[in-house]
Structure 1
């Protein structure tokens, strides 16, 4: 059977092959954005209520625990996006049985990895939090919070990973609702547990895991209602070859999260060390950086939601050899992400104090540091949509190694060395200036590889047109 015949059948059978790219992007990206916002909301809602009910040390504690949240997201995206990408590529090529096998393999891996991470965290909790940068004053708060949230890691990883498979199956609204309901439960229980029952950090953690468990139960229900493929018991096994391909296609998104976690750990320790040598002390920079990281997560939720929403569109059409649709879908996603980046840039530059005030009050020195950190570190937010969309684009078309490289450019190749080197000469201000320089360098690298790949897509499309 020729490629053109396969793609023609895909066109007739699946809207991903014939519906307008803009309509598909809206339909898939909006639920992804909301799902990503919900993931961010778990952390941000806790941060707001903890800031109001516990104070600065509580905010610093959630920042210390944040790398573990990043680890959960990294594992979920490794297995969720890896499974969903293989699912989409096989579905686009007409291989329904293999699509189902990749989905089942991915779900088994999610359960396994979530359980292992929970066990490791509980066994090595205190040394782990100290390694993440906890000061003696912050450590008890971080322990109380993380000891409970660790119990929810398997549910969080499975729900986040399953949401990508549900999306790839063509049910973005269901994916969104499973995440949204859990976040609403977390938001409702936070004030009850923190203020009403006076449970402090423990209450915030309990609210978080209860919301995650409910979301997990909703997602599990969908396993019995997949639209594109039927499941059998044999699908739910771990196969070495399928696992390797899942890791390969999910590595880009995973490594991006791991890089964020590594940077966060180094950043926490750098801020604590150089903060102690400055007029701010160590706890103010830790608390402020934690808040700004969570606020940036809101912006990145839009960008990453767009990049994930376009994944099944690009993956299906690339598998069906519809290269013009692949190119158009990518450029459209990039344009939307850039527009949102400009809006975020304006907010970060114009309203830093107002944003920080949402998370509780502090001294004038606290606000002074926060405003400078916001305006300098986030100065090139306006181009931060390029790297996530481009990284996921390469991943979606099966070029996993290039996708991984793109995902590591900002965090590992540029930001991490700069965070270490600049403070040696500039003190704590060096951390702030490392951000925009890394952003600019990453955008240049992504632009180079993108132009090359778009030319290749044009060549493939012209070759197909001549053949047919």
Structure 2
């Protein structure tokens, strides 16, 4: 297979950002299609579509949490590896990749066992009713059995992109997504497997993506997967670097859990399942915004990290500006699309008139703050790329804590539907805070890096 590699330390920064961001956007968009396509087909299962959709929606937090562990290792390790590559220290870069591979293997085994054992109380806690539990239990059991493939496909892909092979990283995700699109209708409808077929198709698709990703990293790039003894201090550092983006994804699960529980509680027996089905549709559509935007902000982190390691502050500044502009441009377009076409978009999930009307309203509300959200993504991931993990972690926690508090508080005063306003309110507030913090710490961080590099060079002389 022929693959082009981009040199992160040379050439036009805007072209580099575009070259990494566009494939990463596409990869993340396609990655979102895994759950989106499942939910589209599940929502259209004759007779039980709405209940099955609500059941799979209850599984959403666990599915998100499982994949976020791949991001914890992959994004944290790839940032550290890119910095070492920028320093010209390829030996340590190889050691980082080898230890991250071991981390993914160990985490997949622990998570598979843990979630299979605890799935019933977790699903009940997360909002599964007697009517939706059978669908949720079936989907989660099969999906969790394929955790190894999911974590490897997500985690290892970052190490392809950070070496400049953005199109290969995109191809790895496309392989799985195309397979899922083909297999879903076959398993769900042709083989009459229903929800079990959706989960089986997803696991098989993730296996194909995982196999391609592992093959490439074992055989092709300059920094390949190798065997080594576990370096636990290095593993802890990788986890520390990857914790802020992991927290962003993992706390999405907490928000989904809180929202499902709140909607079930305040909606009651009459509206609870319908509101959860609505939230499932809305959150699936929202992922079409946050997924690609994460592709822009995280997919371009390698440029910031590499040039930060090489003490090229001018290129770091230019890349940070380009990333923010891309995020803002993308969210402006998506805001217009979702506000104008909400009814047509949710129609692909359901034909039920009342659920369609409710979901269109929920989607318009949920996306009111997506333009400010671009600032949050670009600035938090930018600070993570510069190894400011504590700062980015604090900003992530601030947004997620506000989101959860608003999700819990608003329905208590204004009814169950008010939970949908938590997203735009949290997005606007956190964007203001993150933008301000970034302005205050960005330049001092670059100055410190240049000072320490000059000091080290002086000592060597």
Q: Which residue, 389, 392, 409 being the options, matches 1:403?
A: 392
- Per-residue CA deviations over 1:53-112 (Å, capped at 9, x if unaligned) read 241011111110011111122101100011101100111111111100011100111111
Q: CA deviation at 1:284?
A: 1.1
1:135 equivalent to 2:126? Answer no
Please list, as runs of the form range in 1=range in 2, the aligned pairs for 1:17-56 lying within 5 A after superposition. 17-53=9-45, 54-56=48-50
- What residue in structure 1 maps to residue 429 of structure 2? 441
- What residue in structure 2 maps to residue 360 of structure 1? 350
Is 1:302–1:337's contact at 8 Å kept on the other side of the alignment?
no
Please list, as runs of the form range in 1=range in 2, the aligned pairs for 1:108-257 lying within 5 A after superposition. 108-229=102-223, 232-234=226-228, 237-257=229-249
Take 1:326 and 1:23, find their aligned partners in 2: how far apart are those partners?
14
For this pair of structures, how many residues does the alignment match?
A: 450
What TM-score results when the alignment is normalised by the length of structure 2? 0.93
1:260 equivalent to 2:255? Answer no
Rate the CA distance shift 1:267–1:27 in 2: closer, same or farther, 3 A: same
- What residue in structure 2 maps to residue 320 of structure 1? 310
What TM-score results when the alignment is normalised by the length of structure 1? 0.92
Take 1:231 and 1:350, find their aligned partners in 2: how far apart are those partners?
47
Rate the CA distance shift 1:223–1:375 in 2: closer, same or farther, 3 A: closer
- What residue in structure 1 maps to residue 297 of structure 2? 307
SS in 2 for 1:233: coil
Rate the CA distance shift 1:194–1:97 in 2: closer, same or farther, 3 A: same
Q: Which moved more, 1:284-293 or 1:21-30?
A: 21-30
Q: CA deviation at 1:223?
A: 2.4
SS in 1 for 2:148: helix
Q: Which moved more, 1:375-384 or 1:453-462?
A: 453-462
Is 2:311–2:450's contact at 8 Å kept on the other side of the alignment?
no
Is 1:376–1:432's contact at 8 Å kept on the other side of the alignment?
yes
What are structure 1's unaligned runs of at least 5 residues?
1-12
What are structure 2's unaligned runs of at least 5 residues?
none
- Per-residue CA deviations over 1:418-468 (Å, capped at 9, x if unaligned) read 11111111011321222221111101111111111344367569989x999
- What residue in structure 2 maps to residue 427 of structure 1? 415
SS in 2 for 1:281: helix
Take 1:128 and 1:276, find their aligned partners in 2: how far apart are those partners?
20
CA RMSD of aligned residues (A): 2.1
SS in 1 for 2:201: helix
Misfit runs of 4+, over 6 Å: 460-464
Rate the CA distance shift 1:14–1:93 in 2: closer, same or farther, 3 A: farther
Take 1:405 and 1:328, find their aligned partners in 2: how far apart are those partners?
25
Take 1:232 and 1:125, find their aligned partners in 2: how far apart are those partners?
35
Rate the CA distance shift 1:241–1:226 in 2: closer, same or farther, 3 A: farther
